[in-house]
Amino acid sequence: MTDILLAVPVMLPVLAAGVLLFNLPRALVRAISIAVLTCVLAASIALFTVADERGPVAVHAGGWPPPLGIALVADRLSALLLMVSVLVALAVLLFAVGQGTADHRPGTAAVLHPAYLLLFGGVALAYLTADLFNLFVAFEVMLAASYVLITLDANEPRTRAGMTYTIVSLTSSLLLITVVALVYAATGTVTLAELPERLAALPGELRSALGLLMLVVFGIKAAVVPLHFWLPDSYPTAPAPITAVFAALLTKVAVYAVLRTQTMLFPRTGMWLLLAVVAIAALLVGILGALAQDDINRLLSFTLVSHIGFMLLGLALFDVAGLTGTILYVVHHIVVQATLFLVAGLVVRTAGTTALHRMDGRTAATGTAIAVLFALPALSLAGIPPLSGFVAKLALLRAAATAGTAGHVLAAAALLTSLLTLYAMARVWNTAFSGTRPAPSPPPPEGGAAAPRTVRRGTALMLAATAGMALTGVAIAAGAGPLSRVGERAAEDLLDPREYRAAVLGEEGGQR
């Protein structure tokens, strides 16, 4: 049964994407996409339950054991992130379906749905793969799909942004396959379960160099300062649901890769000072960049860059408490950041502009629904209690407080960033929701006017999907206790990967 559960998140979206390439009716395309992600969500929930109760579970494709075959493995961390990611992907897909209905744009369905499912297949493979080469393959699957998605309804700005994204992504992919080749040349394997002992036998300088190269490669993909320059120029130009899913998943997959490789392959004792400095730089550079923005999407993109620093902060501490905080923050941020970009899409749709200085309260006339949908994730991102952001930040601050002077500096940077995030969110609120000016009429849809009932139905679906995401963030805060305990167990697994290795290599291999 676990074999099927492990295969479904990867294979079902990829196979469905192939089916959707045929000229199927639009309603059937949408139904298949939603049904596929719903099935993946059910499988991921079951997989998380099994992994949390029994420990890591693995399947070897074709019965070939590593290093000859392809192994998929789910432990508490990968299963948790997979479950949260597919939930967000499903909500964003529903938003995209509603947007297509409301704007009467049927032509994008033939491209959007197969590319979207292929993207998630790559995300699932990245979480579940048990070797470095297939991690590279997973990133390439994601990037191939993202090239299509980021240039949907292409105009000059989107084409230019897509070129920037493509060039940076190809460069990081070349670096990643080079690092994988270097690791294989030095150790004779790319299987994660075999690498800890092989790397430990290498000279210290070579091992450190490989670890630093891997951090740089995944740091580019995660938009870690100072390797973040591409993200604010790429994400804001894409359609709202595409920006939301990119911000929620693609950077977090890269953060997951950093967590997995640095803890399993390059273990440390005590704080990692280099990563602590990078975390502080990410926190402050990102949020100061956000404060300088007038475009709502660029502002949110810079806050994304900033809050990657919170995830690196916990890893820099390199203990169970710090990693628990990082895991909680990743879960919180996947949901909250996607919600904010969806709300931004609703705000821009209503106000008719992405420029904050031109909004002048136009969104206020639409009522309180969008305002509430913005307030919940915005306050959570700033760490206001009792929302999920507060829970995650509290865990990180408690971990940093016990780490001496360097930990106190990290905590101070985190608190300052939270205050500046609150200011940035308040600025958006004041410009978008304060005022009584009537909202402008939406521009006429391309290809003729849609029926009013169709427009209302699409808009209602967009609001419902966004509301579901906002309530998911509230649910994370409500379940903070059980989630924290799961996060702690996942952190212990990261620092002591013996069960992971045993699941991949067998009991004998895991005890070597």
Tally Cβ neighbours within 10 Å of residue 48: 21
pLDDT value of position 511: 39
pLDDT of residue 484: 93
The pLDDT of residue 365? 46
Out of 193-202, 353-362, 366-375, pick the least confident. 353-362
Query: Strand, coil or helix: what is 58?
Result: strand
CA distance 299 to 351: 17
Least confident of 316-325, 370-379, 404-413, 448-457: 448-457
Q: What is the distance between the terminal CA atoms of the chain, rounded to a whole angstrom?
A: 28
Q: Kindly state the average pLDDT of the residues 246-272.
A: 91
pLDDT at 512: 35
Mean pLDDT (the chain) is: 86
pLDDT of residue 31 exceeding 80:
yes
Q: Give mean pLDDT, residues 428-441.
A: 66
Q: Give residue 22's pLDDT.
A: 86
**What does the pLDDT read at residue 448?**
45
Task: Report the distance separating Cα 398 and Cα 403, nearest Å.
Answer: 9
| pLDDT category of residue 447 using cuts at 50, 70 and 90 | very low
> For residues 180 and 136, is the Cβ–Cβ distance under 8 A?
yes
Residue 201 pLDDT more than 80? yes
**Across 47-51, 250-254, 502-506, least confident range:** 502-506
Query: What is the three-state SS of 208-261?
Result: HHHHHHHHHHHHHHCCCCCCCCCHHHHHHHCCHHHHHHHHHHHHHHHHHHHHHH
Q: How far apart are CA 500 and CA 230, in angstroms?
A: 35
pLDDT tens by residue, 493-505: 999 988 999 888 8
Calpha distance 118→120 (Å, rounded): 5
Residue 363 has pLDDT above 70, yes or no: no
Tokens read off for 296: 């709502």
Show the tokens assigned to 452. 């009013």
CB contact burial 225-242 (16+ within 10 A = b; e otherwise): bebbebbbbbbbbbbbbb
Percent of the chain whose pLDDT exceeds 90: 54
- C-alpha dihedral sign at 298, 116, 216, 398: positive
pLDDT in tens, 96-138: 888 876 555 555 667 888 999 999 999 999 999 989 999 999 9
53-61 CB contacts, 8 Å cutoff, 24+ apart: 55/493, 55/499, 55/503, 56/493, 56/499, 56/500, 56/502, 56/503, 56/504, 57/2, 57/5, 57/6, 57/503, 58/6, 58/130, 58/503, 58/504, 59/2, 59/3, 59/6, 59/7
Q: With 50 as the cut, is the pLDDT of residue 444 above it?
A: no
Q: What is the pLDDT of residue 510?
A: 42
- What's the pLDDT tens digit per position in 203-223? 989 999 999 999 999 999 999
Do 129 and 69 meet the contact criterion of CB atoms below 8 Å apart? no
Which residue type sits at 122?
A: G
How many CB atoms neighbour CB 36 within 10 A?
27
Burial category of 367 from C-beta neighbours within 10 Å (exposed 0-12, middle 13-18, buried 19 and up): exposed
- Output the pLDDT for position 112: 85
pLDDT surpassing 70 at residue 454: no
**% of residues, the chain, pLDDT over 70:** 90
Query: Which tokens go with 431?
Result: 């410009």
Q: How confident is the model at residue 370 (pLDDT cuts 50, 70, 90)?
A: confident
Q: Among 10-19, 373-382, 501-510, which is the least confidently predicted range?
A: 501-510
Kindly tell me the sign of the dihedral angle through the C-alpha atoms of 337, 342, 343, 347.
positive
In the prediction, which pLDDT does 453 show?
A: 66
Cα–chain center distance at 405: 31
For 294-345, what is each residue's pLDDT tens digit? Answer: 889 999 999 999 999 999 999 999 999 999 999 999 999 999 999 999 999 8
Rg over CA atoms, the chain: 22
Token pair of 444 as six digits: 């006429």
What is the DSSP track for 131-200?
Answer: BHHHHHHHHHHHHHHHHHHHTTT--HHHHHHHHHHHHHHHHHHHHHHHHHHHHHHHHS--BTTTHHHHHH
